[in-house]
Chains A and B, each alone.
Chain A
Amino acid sequence: MKKLLTNKIFKNNLITYGIVIIAFVVISIIKGTGNLSSLFTGLLVPLCAYIILAVSLNLVVGISGELSLGHAGFMCVGAFSSALFSKCVVGTMPDGLRFLLALIIGSVLAGIIGVLIGIPVLRLKGDYLAIVTLAFGEIIKNIINVIYIGRDSKGFHFSMTSEMDLNLEAGGETLINGAQGITGTPKDSSFLIGFILVMITLFIVLNLINSRDGRAIMAIRDNRIAAESIGINITKYKLLAFTVSSVLAGAAGVLYSHNLNNLQATSKNFGYNMSIMFLVFVVLGGIGNIRGSIIAAVLLTLLPELLRGLNAYRMLIYAIVLIAIMLFNWAPGALAFREKYSIKNWLSKKTGKEEM
């Protein structure tokens, strides 16, 4: 009996890894033969970043059961800290090592911010957490918009007012230029790196869920009082889920920023509507369902592009598709229909075997 259960989880995880690997191989082949339009080629790296964000947000929303609306904020921290690092050290070390260090700096910094935000906020429940994280995301974005950092022979210069205020020497270089952000980040990201990061994210999240820590996190989600009564440390495990999630969001930010020549913190890429979009990925894919998050992230990122031909009707169709998926996933009638006519049932009837 118990062997069956662990096997089932193992099989499920394998399918998830398999889908990602197959998708990567297929897209690589299409790309290699030159059949992928430049539009889609450009979307590949952001797509990987969105998948990582969706999966990591699912760890907080689905597994830990807390509503976080500041996920883009953690991505923002990872993106800017790593881009700044890469720009500072460009030319002093090999590209691979530079990106690896940038990745570590971006994710660790996002993780530290996650702990700092999490310690006070995770004592709150439900809506309060959502409000605080929402505010946090906006604050990060707005702070980055007024930071000016420059470098010349005397060292680094900081300012919160304007580029002129940095008082750089003639040969000085502006690293972060307020609302204009960071220009000239080395383009270290690639689809392959994105794929590897997605696989690492899946490995961490899936293994975490199916371990002692994951059980504790889900026990707290299901019943806080009971979890406490069997000796589970509530704050510790909520913080663990939140921190791992922000570390991964930071990594996604690193991937995202090293794909852009010009990185700016606008509401379009790091604002709260992005956080909401990640939440939509999670909810549509199924709360707590990691594979669903991946599929939803891919579909909903590609859909607006696929519908580009429809011009003005694009967002209308997009909205209708959202509603349709939601109904298909969650409406009781649709659930019963799927149960009745699922492929699994059909197959087991064919072979005359009872599915368990």
Chain B
Amino acid sequence: MALLEAKNLSISFGGLRAVDEFNISIEKGQLYGLIGPNGAGKTTVFNLLTGVYKPTEGIVTLNGIDITAKKTIDLNKAGIARTFQNIRLFKDLSVLDNVKAALHNHYVYSTFDGIFRTPKFRKCEKAMNERAMELLKVFDLDEKADILASNLPYGKQRKLEIARALATEPKILLLDEPAAGMNPNETLELMETIRFIRDKFDMTILLIEHDMKLVSGICEELTVLNFGRILTKGKTSEVLNNPEVIKAYLGDE
């Protein structure tokens, strides 16, 4: 059974059908890519899967459970975590606190515990610190735990956002254009990181990307969107050599 499955997912904004009959089926442990030219509806699909928009038609299931049109916060609890195209960090919190904020639902103590610093508070905070530092270490950010998130260089902010998403212990990780604004070297490093996450955390990853090098380098399967509809899907090498796809990206001769 597929981990994440969407059937006939559609959404209309007024008269515009932004996504039409979108189908996807992602197996556990897969590195799946969603590509398409500008305005094809990729981010809209992401927003449908993460509860930002409610679909007009269609259903989404996670592990066979219907999660269609649930709220973002419930979807996160169900096991979907995401990053954003334009980085959204908690910029006035420290790097460590960014990750600790994401551990919110995994290490729980009450407001009373927090104000009166009960033993439960100490125990929980200690465990949180350890877990957060462990995650930061994976992304080579542990040396920077103390500084404000907004003071990190761009590439590291991307990594912190991924670390934060992973801290919520998701079943599937959705990355929205992780390589946007990166230079070729940073992109290369990011590829390594994404592959590493998949292997180390046994994670299922769905990513939207423009950068063809990144997509062809790490994705096993692709779905190509154009004008809100699926153009084609299949193994990466086959899809990228499909004349329809090349036409959609480069236009007619």
Q: Do A and B truly interact?
A: yes
Contact partner of B88 (CB less than 8 A), chosen from A208, A212, A226, A232, is A226
A227 located at the interface, meaning its Cβ lies under 8 Å from any Cβ of chain B in the complex: yes
Residues in B68-115 with C-beta less than 8 Å from chain A: 72-73, 76-77, 81-82, 84, 88-94, 96-98, 100-102, 104-105, 107-109, 111, 113-115
B121 located at the interface, meaning its Cβ lies under 8 Å from any Cβ of chain A in the complex: yes
A211 located at the interface, meaning its Cβ lies under 8 Å from any Cβ of chain B in the complex: yes
Query: Inside 8 A of B96's CB, which chain A residues have their CB?
Result: 2, 5
The reply to whether A2 and B114 contact each other, CB–CB distance below 8 Å, is no
A255 located at the interface, meaning its Cβ lies under 8 Å from any Cβ of chain B in the complex: no
A84 vs chain B, min Cβ distance (A):
29
A219 located at the interface, meaning its Cβ lies under 8 Å from any Cβ of chain B in the complex: yes
B181 vs chain A, min Cβ distance (A):
18
Most buried by A among B76, B108, B114, B129: B114
Residues in A179-214 with C-beta less than 8 Å from chain B: 203-204, 207-208, 211-214
Give Cα distance in the complex from A207 to B122, angstroms.
12
Query: Inside 8 A of B108's CB, which chain A residues have their CB?
Result: 212
Give Cα distance in the complex from A288 to B129, angstroms.
23
How many A-B pairs with Cβ below 8 Å?
A: 110
The reply to whether A226 and B84 contact each other, CB–CB distance below 8 Å, is yes
The reply to whether B133 and A2 contact each other, CB–CB distance below 8 Å, is yes
Give Cα distance in the complex from A230 to B164, angstroms.
8
B114 vs chain A, min Cβ distance (A):
3
Q: A5-B146, A207-B116 are in contact. Are A229 and B101 (CB under 8 A)?
A: no
The residue on B at minimum CB distance from A356 is B146
The reply to whether A231 and B73 contact each other, CB–CB distance below 8 Å, is yes
Q: A1-B145, A5-B145, A212-B107 are in contact. Are A226 and B89 (CB under 8 A)?
A: yes
Q: A228-B72, A230-B164, A231-B77 are in contact. Are A219 and B93 (CB under 8 A)?
A: yes
Most buried by B among A203, A223, A240: A223
Q: Total interface residues on A, using CB and 8 Å? A: 31
B205 vs chain A, min Cβ distance (A):
16
The reply to whether B143 and A1 contact each other, CB–CB distance below 8 Å, is yes
B94 vs chain A, min Cβ distance (A):
7
The reply to whether A223 and B88 contact each other, CB–CB distance below 8 Å, is yes
Give Cα distance in the complex from A115 to B241, angstroms.
60
B124 located at the interface, meaning its Cβ lies under 8 Å from any Cβ of chain A in the complex: yes
Query: Inside 8 A of A203's CB, which chain B residues have their CB?
Result: 115
Residues in A228-277 with C-beta less than 8 Å from chain B: 228-234, 240
A52 vs chain B, min Cβ distance (A):
16
Give Cα distance in the complex from A208 to B114, angstroms.
6
Q: A5-B96, A230-B164 are in contact. Are A215 and B104 (CB under 8 A)?
A: yes
A283 located at the interface, meaning its Cβ lies under 8 Å from any Cβ of chain B in the complex: no
Residues in B17-70 with C-beta less than 8 Å from chain A: 50
B223 located at the interface, meaning its Cβ lies under 8 Å from any Cβ of chain A in the complex: no
The reply to whether A222 and B91 contact each other, CB–CB distance below 8 Å, is yes
- Encode A3-42 as 1/0 by CB contact (under 8 A) with B: 0110000000000000000000000000000000000000
Give Cα distance in the complex from A228 to B146, angstroms.
24
Contact partner of B109 (CB less than 8 A), chosen from A208, A212, A229, is A212
B209 vs chain A, min Cβ distance (A):
19
Query: Inside 8 A of A108's CB, which chain B residues have their CB?
Result: none
The residue on B at minimum CB distance from A216 is B104
Give Cα distance in the complex from A228 to B90, angstroms.
12
Give Cα distance in the complex from A302 to B38, angstroms.
61
- Encode B183-214 as 1/0 by CB contact (under 8 A) with A: 00000000000000000000000000000000
The residue on B at minimum CB distance from A205 is B115
Give Cα distance in the complex from A211 to B118, angstroms.
12
The reply to whether A204 and B145 contact each other, CB–CB distance below 8 Å, is no
Query: Inside 8 A of A5's CB, which chain B residues have their CB?
Result: 94, 96, 145-146
A15 vs chain B, min Cβ distance (A):
18
Q: A212-B128, A226-B164, A229-B50 are in contact. List 8 more A-B contacts (CB 8 A).
A: A2-B133, A211-B114, A211-B115, A215-B97, A226-B90, A227-B90, A229-B72, A240-B111
28 contacts between A and B (CB under 8 A): A1-B145, A2-B96, A2-B129, A2-B133, A5-B96, A208-B111, A211-B111, A212-B107, A212-B108, A212-B114, A214-B114, A218-B90, A218-B101, A219-B93, A219-B98, A221-B92, A226-B89, A226-B90, A226-B164, A229-B76, A230-B164, A230-B165, A230-B167, A231-B77, A231-B104, A231-B105, A231-B168, A232-B73
